[in-house]
Amino acid sequence: MSGLSRSSHALVTGGGRGIGRAIAASLVQAGATVTIMGRNLAVLNEVVAAGDAHYAVAADVSDQTALNAAIADAGKRQPIDILVANAGAAESAPFMKSDAALFQRMMDVNFMGVVYATQAVLPEMVKRKSGRIVAVASTAGLKGYGYVSAYSAAKHAVIGIVRSVALEVAKSGVTVNAVCPGFTETDLLEGSIDNIMSKTGRTREQAVAELAKHNPQGRLVTPGEVADAVLWLCGAGAGSITGQSIAVAGGEV
């Protein structure tokens, strides 16, 4: 990709599978040094062994102390120039059956994980007057979906923090953006498909079609398509793009 420094060090949270792994692999191919973070070190090491990342650090993004320690460890090798805050989780339930614990879980992982990671890397980026922060949000942060109110609220919060932080650091050389995938072919989506099948008796093909119908193109998004958008935002050519929430969703939003 044009404009990505080959000396860049990128940190990708939730880099062990799905969208995160696709982003990590794209950054590697573009010449960056890539460290991935997740909770399962064995899974992360498999990604490294496959050549889709260079280093792995284990941490739960909702645990600020553990996250800070892991990012400090990664930064010892080389300052972090790019943060892709991708780690996330999704749970579905009717709003009337969504208790405080469900809302807290969704906020801790999907929102506070972005906040903690951004706070950990931003001071040094501002000091160096250079950096790229990309949060992987969701179309659920741009519109509502039934039965995922807690998830949607957390993703809306991610977009809010992206817009605010982007303004605070606009003159620093650091950009802060979000990409908002629609329903994407990932392990996380498989859980939604299983949920539809178990609750409605539909076949897998029918369950996939139920999700794909939200996309005007009539299909699911691929992880590689999300990775391409992230890669562009990480490059020098996107230096004037900040505070944006870019939907990768076939025209859904």
Q: In Å, how far are 7, 90, 204, 233 from 190, measured between CA atoms? A: 36, 11, 10, 28
pTM: 0.92
pLDDT at 196: 75
Average pLDDT, the chain: 94
Higher pLDDT, residue 94 or 195: 94
pLDDT at 5: 65
pLDDT at 153: 98
Query: Is the predicted pLDDT of residue 66 greater than 70, yes or no?
Result: yes
pLDDT at 3: 59
pLDDT at 6: 67
Is residue 207 in a domain? no
**What's the rounded Cα separation, in Å, for the pair 93 and 25?**
33
Per residue in 198-214, pLDDT (tens digit) is: 778 888 778 777 788 88
**What's the rounded Cα separation, in Å, for the pair 200 and 20?**
30
Per residue in 104-160, pLDDT (tens digit) is: 999 999 999 999 999 999 999 999 999 999 999 999 999 999 999 999 999 999 999
Structurally, the chain folds into a number of domains equal to: 1
**Average pLDDT of 206-234?**
91
Question: Would you please indicate which residues are annotated as catalytic (active-site) residues?
Answer: 151
Label residue 250 by pLDDT band (50, 70, 90): very high
Is residue 4 in a domain? no
Is residue 193 in a domain? no
**Average pLDDT of 11-25?**
97
Per residue in 173-198, pLDDT (tens digit) is: 999 999 999 989 877 666 677 777 77
Which percentage of the chain shows pLDDT scores above 70?
95
pLDDT at 1: 38
Is residue 195 in a domain? no
Please state the φ and ψ torsions of residue 84, each to the nearest 5 degrees. Answer: -115, 105
Structural domain span for residue 78: 9-183+222-248
pLDDT at 2: 45
pLDDT at 212: 84
Label residue 42 by pLDDT band (50, 70, 90): very high
Q: What is the DSSP string of 13-39?
A: ETTTSHHHHHHHHHHHHTT-EEEEEES
Is residue 201 in a domain? no
Buried b (16+ CB within 10 A) or exposed e, 73-94: ebbeeebbbbbbbbbbbbbbee
* The CA-based dihedral angle spanning residues 116, 19, 237, 155, taken in that order and rounded to the nearest 10 degrees: -50
DSSP reduced 3-state for 191: helix
Is residue 93 in a domain? yes
Higher pLDDT, residue 94 or 200: 94
CATH (domain of 89) = 3.40.50.720
